[in-house]
Chains A and B, each alone.
Chain A
Amino acid sequence: MAFEIGNPGLATTVQDQGRTGHYNVGIPQSGSMDQYSAELANALVGNTAREAALECTYLGPVLTTDSDAVIAVTGAPVELKVNGEPRPQWSRLVLKAGDQLSFGVIQGGTRYYIAVQGGIDVPEVLGSRSTYSLGAIGGFKGRKLEAGDVVPVGAPLNGGKLPRADTVPEEFRPVYAKEQEVRIVLGLYDHRLTEEGLGNLLKEEWKVTPVADRMGLRYSGPGVKWKEREQPFGAGSDPSNIVDAGYAVGSIQIPGGTQPIILHRDAVSGGGYAMVGTVISADMDLVARAAPGTATRFVAVSMAEALDARSDLAERRNKAWEALGSPRR
């Protein structure tokens, strides 16, 4: 069973929960940028949270299924059609062999997810089916989808059993707002910012620029000031430079003090720019949903608050599964 790709869309890739354990040699985490939405698409079609789905960016693909298939589309709001007829998002859909799935214009956010019963069945590379385009590994031939690709779909899991409910209730769907509050834990090299610079980061409004992709999101705003100093040996000449170090996923760097960059799932694993804080794990999906122009405020929280937010998100995720009538798997 397979999906035949007509038009591939802007950047459609195979993603799952990601690939850890190889960051020490520069292989990034990858995986669905909006884990929450991708997971609930899997839940709707009777998969576990670990199956691979198709991540669509702004402009989705046109694809045809060669067999009967059970699918769901979650994530950013978009008009979706089967053989030209509108169908709902966040709901389980049954396709017949030869049916064509296509998309209209995205209404907000950045990415939506197509899950299929049985999951996208590309080979695992280093324990994951996620695409890492720069390294050309994982996913479908290590790259985004192209016209003419035939993407394999796996056999139904759990004896083909589907959850009782076929729609994720409204209350469990993310909100796609034009304003965001992103919680961060200050640290790493925040002591290298001037007081005014740190104030700018936390008190001013920042806007997502068009330079935003799976590697990271760049924000425009008032800029920050770095403390002047004699640079340590090997660090480079700008006060925002450090001796090349590992980058936390979600960390915020501000090269030259101008535009903050939040590193996301396909980011480089290290480099020579000082980081001033890190987005908490519970808000990484939120950042992934931020379209260019999104007005953003960075809110500093403590480690304890970050861990509470992490538990809250896990609980919300579990409740969403329960609302479908299936325990989280």
Chain B
Amino acid sequence: MTTEAAVLPAARYTWGGDEFLFVEVSEAMSLPANFKVMSIAGKLSDARLPGIVDICPANASLLVRFDPDVLPPEQLETAVRDIERDLMNHQERALETRIVEVPVWYEDPFTAEVAQRFREGFHQEPEGSDIDYAAKVNHLKDAAEFIQRHHEQPWLVSMVGFVAGLPFLFQLVDRDKQLEVPKYLSPRTDTPKLTVGHGGCFGCIYSVRGAGGYQMFGVAAAPIFDPDQALADFKDFMVFFRPGDIVKFKPVTEAEYNVIQAEIAAGTFRYRQAPVTFELSRALADPEGYNRELMEALNGI
């Protein structure tokens, strides 16, 4: 056992009332912790236990909703502990998933306008922009360097939630290269739909307009939550992202953004995406080398 995953301690089990089991795999965020969460969630889902209502993998923990009239709490806990024990002996190392290219208009006017309304009392540096602040606290030269760092390496969807279809994103780089930015001092009451944001070590894309506390860097050009299911990518489900998806941001200009808007209006837009197998040990051993290989899957799509 050479990976960090092997040294993750046993998870902590605790109850959320009489309908929820909470399994904290790790207090700290890490790729191995998220991988273990996803592995437990997958195996629990495969087990198809009657009485399980929702299985919600999160960044470093798992929340399971159950119907105690059908599945007694201790029976559920035993089932999850058995899965965890089995995983420690046969560590799951590969995830069948996909890589998706997400076009982003960085430093767009929509988030800039909203940011202007939430400066004094909300932001650490009210006189500057969110992205300038993010560059500064990460000791980068300027906004351009921050944007470069933001899109040049891919991200893992480590959790979907908060609101419908919102992906939390964890960049697939060594910890010392992770971008970390504090959240707003006090949450905004408004965030444009599709804002590309960042709080702590997590990126996100706001699926709907609403409250939010993450720093705002740009807007994603295409929908990620589509209740009308108009576009082909939403034919099966109104939510685009699933935990385990790999996201490669692609910067676009205003003109390119507008072309995408026209494609969306015409109903022809599709995300560039390709199936990939994601191997934890390789991602940990040589993140950037492995990322290059993952991103090659998008070539020629």
Contact = CB atoms under 8 A, between A and B. Distances in A.
Contact of A24 (B30, B160, B238): B160
Contact of A246 (B58, B166, B238, B241): B58
Interface stretch (A44-52, A102-110, A183-191, A199-207): A183-191
A125 B14 CA distance: 32
B63 A234 contact: no
B159 A244 contact: yes
Interface in B60-99: 60-63, 65, 68-69, 73
A279 interface: yes
B266 interface: no
B30 A233 contact: yes
Nearest to A284: B17
Interface stretch (A1-9, A150-158, A171-179, A302-310): A302-310
Interface stretch (A59-67, A84-92, A129-137, A288-296): A129-137
Contact of B200 (A142, A185, A234, A307): A234
Interface stretch (A73-81, A263-271, A318-326): A263-271
B112 interface: no
B166 A135 contact: no
B133 interface: no
A277 B238 CA distance: 32
Interface size of B as a range = 35 or more
B300 interface: no
Contact of A25 (B29, B160, B208): B160
Interface string B231-256: 00000001101110000000000000
Interface of chain B: mostly helix, strand, loop or mixed: loop
B208 A134 contact: yes
B270 interface: no
A125 B226 CA distance: 13
A277 B161 CA distance: 20
A187 B16 contact: yes
Contacts of B202: 234, 244
A36 to B, nearest CB: 16
A187 B14 contact: yes
A23 B16 contact: no
Contacts of B164: 25-27, 132, 134-135, 137
Nearest to B201: A234
List the 5 closest A-B pairs by CB distance, nearest first. A248-B16, A234-B29, A246-B63, A278-B17, A232-B28
24 contacts: A23-B54, A23-B63, A26-B160, A26-B165, A137-B164, A142-B227, A232-B26, A232-B28, A233-B30, A234-B29, A234-B201, A235-B28, A243-B29, A244-B168, A246-B61, A248-B20, A248-B63, A251-B17, A268-B163, A271-B162, A278-B15, A303-B73, A306-B17, A310-B18
Given A185-B17, A245-B60, A246-B61, 6 more contacts: A25-B164, A26-B162, A134-B163, A188-B16, A234-B59, A244-B162
Interface of B: 14-20, 22, 24, 26-30, 53-63, 65, 68-69, 73, 159-166, 168, 175, 182-183, 199-202, 207-208, 210, 225, 227, 238-239, 241-243
